[in-house]
Structure 1
Amino acid sequence: MLTSGAERSILNLLYTYAERIDAGDFDGVSRLFDGARVFMAGPDQPAVPGSLVGTVMARFVKMYDGVPRTKHVVTNSIIEAEGPSSALARSQFTVLQEVPGVLPLQVVAAGRYHDRFVTDDGATWRFDQRVMFVDAHGDVSAHLNQEAGR
């Protein structure tokens, strides 16, 4: 069973990811996932080393004056102990974006995060793995650089 402090630490990691990506802090995203495996395109695609996640995102995400003009909203997080030093979390995410003169405020993506967290000391938790599932997307023309994958 997880303590309320452990649950709060894990929730803070989930929310810090959203805060950093919305701030365009891709280096901070990489630091958050350092040492983790991140499946950015679902579990059937190769994992990206956590230390490179921000670099990958910086390549694909369009920026406007240093920020992507998004709001990643993480909700409905279910956190369960996996063992004394690990926990699993399932969360929903919604990505909103608005770019003046380009895109009115709207949902551009929605999906799920399946995460695994670990701790060495029982107090400091970190990401061990993330699997991203995009269940729906809207107009991502102002959000993603389509040429980056070519």
Structure 2
Amino acid sequence: MKKKDSNTIAQNRKAIHDYTILETVEAGMVLQGTEIKSIRNGRINLKDGFATIRNGEAYLHNVHISPYEQGNIFNHDPLRARKLLMKKKQIHSLIGETKNAGITLIPLKIYIKNGFAKVLIGVAKGKKQYDKREDLKRKDINREVERALKNR
């Protein structure tokens, strides 16, 4: 089992199961009010999240950040679209890659870096059912080999 990074807040484990990750890109997020406090408390869900590019800007959709408990009337909308902070070159390269059929942008993990919340965006291609089965078989074989080597 892999060790969790100390600064990792949330991971999208289902994405690794459902998609083949071709490339990853780090991006910052534009947050409102108490969203960073909720993220630091770990009250975030990446399960159904995805990213889009509109008008030369990247946005993160369907990522649920729960309202902050000690917040007031100025709490944020949990499912709002959040703008991603990336360089123009990165955005243009992502536009070129997402033009291909079956390629999508998904959030893989959210972490804190130098006091700022960052999201790791993966350029992903969906897996077929038989691809998922092959991956599970490969994992089982590797696990058995590791066990056998460990017991020697």
TM-score (norm 1): 0.27
Decide which structure has greater strand share: 1
**Which protein is bigger by CA-based radius of gyration?**
2
The TM-score, its normalising length taken from structure 2, stands at 0.26
